[in-house]
Amino acid sequence: MPIRLLSAQTVNRIAAGEVIERPAAAVKELVENALDAGASRVEVILTGGGIDRIEVIDDGTGIPAGELMLAIERHATSKLGDEALVRITSLGFRGEALPSIGAAARLTLISRPQGQDSAYKITVAGGEVGEVAPVAAGFGTRAIAEDLFYATPARRKFLRSVRAEADAAERVVWRLALSAPAVGFRLVSDQRVMFELPAQDEAARVAALFGRDTAAALLALEAERDGVVLTGLAGPASLSRATMALQSFVVNGRPVLDPLLRMALRLAYRDVIAAGRHPVAALRLRVPAEQLDVNVHPAKTELRFADANGIRSLVIGAIGRLLSRPVSLAGAPAAYAPVRSPATAPGPALQLYPMAAPAPRSSIAARGFAEAELAFGAPPLARHFAPEPAGQDHPLGAPVAQILDTYVLAVAADGSLVIIDQHAAHERLTEERLRAEFAAGAVVAQPLLLPVVVDMAASDAARLLGNAATLQRLGLEIEAFGAGAVLVRAVPAALRDANASAMLQDLAEELAESDTPVALEAKLDAALARLACHRSIRAGRRLELAEMSALLREMEATPRAGTCSHGRPTFLKLTKAELEKLFGRRGM
């Protein structure tokens, strides 16, 4: 075939594939246009995950009737004053979103700038441009994209479920709303109002979008390095989540999913958050324009920093200081306790306190931070008990001491020494009990005397409610309770004293984590493990002798009790023979 130039329509369809790879991307472009137009209020209405219809309404500057035709042209933009691409201050600048959406879908723009006596409308469908015609409408712009990818069926095949596309599109609006707290936002998805937010300050916006309880625990941070300014809110170590869903990064006003920033955050928390858990943070960076390239990817969610190492150190340093702040200086002491701060490390090893002399625990820690393993006001190194001999049929032996309120020390009838991690062990027991009940189709639900209302992000609530029938099989009965809240009527009996709010939050994230068609069973299995974790005895809880004995006896009777659900051992055992070998009392 000879070389020829592609038609404008084909070029636009190719570009559409890059810029608009799924409904969420179209939502992002349209909302960015609204923000670039200086809107003080943006409304987004999604139908069928945005595949059927996306509508974005703003009260911004509008597009003059004479420019409507140009707005949908490729490479046409009103935003690029600096064609050297250095000082880019708007969210858009490539002039390809509207033509791309118009190539893949049916796009209608209705717009009326201040001073224009009527609104005008233009339609592009599969690249075919219609007439510009007057219509009745108020000031601002209304962009409607319908039947996404009807003109590019190859792309349509790659769409995931409606729920997954809706999730992604809602997340995009959630991120943009976080980036622009001074703009009022309303998001409606399949007739459900996901959020409706007035113009507000940053802290109020984070509270509305992260959930009030979570936001209350966050700590403010501020740091500067070589002209780069970092501000925002970040969680204490105790606030980890199952996914990265509650992490937001805004760079020069642009919400980004930047790998460098994510990695820096992960490193900052590496020593204080368990592997597989993720910190919570809403961070904002202001970088001098010439040190930043936003034109790395058509979707503009990744950046290139001139000084990547500097940015990384800034983030890691600021959070490191936050995590090691003494409690009395912390912004939200009720939920904060430093872990592994050198000043609060436990004293010299091998010093046994008698039972009667527990070190005083700070009341703050006890109240807000049940999980503060070894945090401060160190627990007694050991509390010991008069041994009560264990029978031959009890290989894990009889408890003789609890160490650091975390490990149980036991001695078996044959002289073996056993050390049990109380949290890991209990987690496994709870999980196995739930699993057995679940397999028998008989998870015992415990109705709550007073139903609990759990506030959460509306999208999380929607996801949980969408799975209500499944959750019922797990003994969890929930109902809708207005936007952004779920009413819990019953919980699995095995988990009756777990924290319902944390449990639901984790479940919502578990359900969102992968939207590939994973077998439902696999998801339920993961959910069981997560639920079990919530009920389990915390490291740091003082146990009575009877509780310790009961724990050991139940472990002996439970399958797979040797490891916790994360695969770590629940106990270590040193037999009499092994001890003799270690002390050289016996030939090797």
C-alpha distance across the termini of the chain, in Å: 80
- 93 interacts with, out of Mg ion, ligand ADP, none, CB within 5 to 8 A per kind: ligand ADP
> In a 10 Å sphere around its CB, with 0-12 CB exposed, 13-18 middle and 19+ buried, how is residue 567 labelled?
exposed
Least gap, CB of 105 to ligand ADP (angstroms): 14
The smaller minimum CB distance to ligand ADP, of residues 90 and 402, is found at: 90
The smaller minimum CB distance to ligand ADP, of residues 63 and 294, is found at: 63
Query: Helix and strand tally (H, E) in the chain?
Result: 18, 24
Least gap, CB of 457 to ligand ADP (angstroms): 26
Query: Which run of H or of E encompasses 16?
Result: helix 8-19
Least gap, CB of 171 to Mg ion (angstroms): 19
Look up residue 507 and give its two tokens: 């479940």
For the stretch 471-477, contacts whose Cβ atoms lie closer than 8 Å and that sit 24 or more positions apart, written own/partner, are 471/507, 472/445, 473/438, 473/441, 473/443, 473/524, 474/434, 474/438, 474/443, 474/524, 474/527, 474/528, 474/531, 475/437, 475/443, 475/444, 475/445, 475/446, 476/445, 476/507, 477/445, 477/447
The window from 88-96, 376-384, 448-456, 518-526 that contacts ligand ADP (CB under 6 A) reads 88-96
Binds ligand ADP (CB under 6 A): choice among 16, 27, 65, 98: 98
- The answer for residues whose C-beta is within 8 angstroms of residue 25's C-beta and 6 or more apart is 19, 172, 299
Least gap, CB of 30 to Mg ion (angstroms): 8
Q: Does 63 bind ligand ADP (CB under 6 A)?
A: yes
Cα distance between residue 167 and residue 163, in whole Å: 6
The window from 30-38, 445-453, 491-499, 516-524 that contacts ligand ADP (CB under 6 A) reads 30-38
Contact positions with ligand ADP (CB under 6 A) in 130-189:
141
The window from 89-97, 238-246, 327-335, 444-452 that contacts Mg ion (CB under 5 A) reads 89-97
CB-nearest residue to Mg ion: 92
**DSSP, res 391:** P
Q: Does 12 bind ligand ADP (CB under 6 A)?
A: no
Least gap, CB of 175 to ligand ADP (angstroms): 17
Neighbours of 150 (CB within 10 A): 15
Q: Where are the alpha helices (DSSP H) in 38-187?
A: 68-71, 97-104, 153-156, 162-179
Binds ligand ADP (CB under 6 A): choice among 16, 71, 237, 319: 71
Least gap, CB of 192 to ligand ADP (angstroms): 24
Cα distance between residue 441 and residue 386, in whole Å: 43
The smaller minimum CB distance to ligand ADP, of residues 75 and 542, is found at: 75
The smaller minimum CB distance to ligand ADP, of residues 141 and 430, is found at: 141
Look up residue 84 and give its two tokens: 């050297």
Least gap, CB of 239 to ligand ADP (angstroms): 37
The window from 72-80, 218-226, 267-275, 287-295 that contacts ligand ADP (CB under 6 A) reads 72-80
The smaller minimum CB distance to Mg ion, of residues 75 and 553, is found at: 75
> In a 10 Å sphere around its CB, with 0-12 CB exposed, 13-18 middle and 19+ buried, how is residue 222 labelled?
exposed
The window from 2-10, 95-103, 327-335, 436-444 that contacts Mg ion (CB under 5 A) reads 95-103
The smaller minimum CB distance to ligand ADP, of residues 105 and 461, is found at: 105
Least gap, CB of 90 to Mg ion (angstroms): 8
- 74 interacts with, out of Mg ion, ligand ADP, none, CB within 5 to 8 A per kind: none
The SS3 call for residue 223 is strand
Q: Does 58 bind ligand ADP (CB under 6 A)?
A: yes
Cα distance between residue 549 and residue 310, in whole Å: 53
Q: Does 37 bind ligand ADP (CB under 6 A)?
A: yes
The smaller minimum CB distance to Mg ion, of residues 97 and 398, is found at: 97
* Site map 329..358 versus ligand ADP, x via CB under 6 A: ------------------------------
Cα distance between residue 244 and residue 149, in whole Å: 29
List, in sequence order, every residue forming a beta bridge with 186; answer none if it has no partner: 43, 196
> In a 10 Å sphere around its CB, with 0-12 CB exposed, 13-18 middle and 19+ buried, how is residue 101 labelled?
buried
Tell me the CB-side half-sphere exposure of residue 475, using CA atoms within 13 A. Answer: 28
Q: Does 62 bind ligand ADP (CB under 6 A)?
A: yes
Least gap, CB of 277 to ligand ADP (angstroms): 38
Contact positions with Mg ion (CB under 5 A) in 28-57:
33
CB-nearest residue to ligand ADP: 92
Whether the Cβ atoms of residue 28 and residue 299 lie closer than 8 Å to each other: yes
Residue 351 to residues 354, 380, 383: CA-CA distances in angstroms? 10, 9, 11
Q: How many residues sit close enough to ligand ADP to count as binding (CB under 6 A)?
A: 22
Helix, strand, coil shares of the chain as percentages rounded to 5? 35, 25, 40
Q: What are phi and psi of 553, to 5 degrees?
A: -65, -40
Binds ligand ADP (CB under 6 A): choice among 17, 50, 92, 236: 92
Which residues bind to Mg ion, rule: CB under 5 A? 33, 92, 97
Which residues bind to ligand ADP, rule: CB under 6 A? 29, 33-34, 37, 58, 60-63, 71, 76-79, 92-98, 141
